[in-house]
Amino acid sequence: MKKKIALAQMTSIADVEKNLQKSLEFIQQAAQQKADLIAFPECFLFLGKDSLYQEIAEDVRGPLVELFQEQARQNDISILMGSFPEKDPENQRKIYNTSVLISRQGKVLETYRKIHLFDVELPDLRLIESETVSAGKKVVVADHEIGKVGMTICYDLRFPNLFQQLNQAGAEIISTPAAFTYQTGKAHWLTLLQARAIENQVYIAAPGQVGHHNKKRRSFGHSVIIDPWGKILALAPEEECLIYADINLETIQEVRRKMPVQSHRVPGID
């Protein structure tokens, strides 16, 4: 049975209210198109100075998540909050970069805290995520109406072992909300996503940030939905928009039957 998913590509800024308004508009548009799920990118409610994330951080049971739970119920659509700043109860100086999957009934199905933190210094950009963000430790696969959803965030994409663990835990669709920098995205984004889809024979749903967020920060965009054979089903232009594609679990079964890679894994090596 096919399920329709929507990815929201955004140019989020350091203004929660403006980003929130755009998000609510996208939810309504996706619901009108009869999408079963809408997924937002990393940092979709705020993208600005690292030092400011602590000021807007909330608990998963806080008002921001509750708002999206209500939106899911009202619009009869499942929502993936790509990531938002979650308070770290054990370290008041840091937050978690957390993705939340909500059912169309408004239930929080799973939360995932970004495991791999992006620490890099480029010629024109310094991003040291570990200075303000605590790393998650749990691999997460959620039971969802469209299938089993493995959850990752952005920089996790560069670590194939995480995707293999999600695959072995039963993931059929893997979400990768991101805010890939323009420089690294242009070189690696689509190549890595297609590789993860092909290696694990899963659908990849990767909603991204796009364009200039401020004078220093630019994201690559190219939000994309990829099938288990590595075929691109939908690819966003370089602007804020929604893209759509159908998820069909029978396609996964067919690909895995024709190319039984998983049964060829060598214990202790693969």
- The label of the residue with tokens 């805010």 reads 179
- 106: DSSP letter: S
**Cα separation of 201 and 198, whole Å?**
5
Is the model's pLDDT at 17 over the cut of 80? yes
pLDDT of residue 124: 67
Confidence of residue 122 (pLDDT cuts 50, 70, 90): low
Phi, psi of 118 (to 5 degrees): -90, 100
Is residue 4 part of the annotated active site? The answer reads: no
3-state helix, strand, coil in the chain (%, to 5): 30, 35, 35
Is the model's pLDDT at 127 over the cut of 80? no
Confidence of residue 125 (pLDDT cuts 50, 70, 90): low
**Which of the four CATH numbers 3.40.1160.10, 3.60.110.10, 3.40.50.920, 1.10.287.3510 does domain 2-264 have?**
3.60.110.10
Is residue 66 part of the annotated active site? The answer reads: no
Is the model's pLDDT at 135 over the cut of 80? yes
Give the global pTM: 0.96
Q: Which of 42, 86, 110, 240 is catalytic?
A: 42
What's the token pair of residue 55?
């000021």
Q: Which of 3, 22, 94, 114 is catalytic?
A: 114
- The label of the residue with tokens 């893997």 reads 174
Phi, psi of 78 (to 5 degrees): -75, 150
Confidence of residue 52 (pLDDT cuts 50, 70, 90): confident
Q: Which of 43, 129, 154, 240 is catalytic?
A: 154
Task: Give residue limits of the domains in the chain.
Answer: 2-264
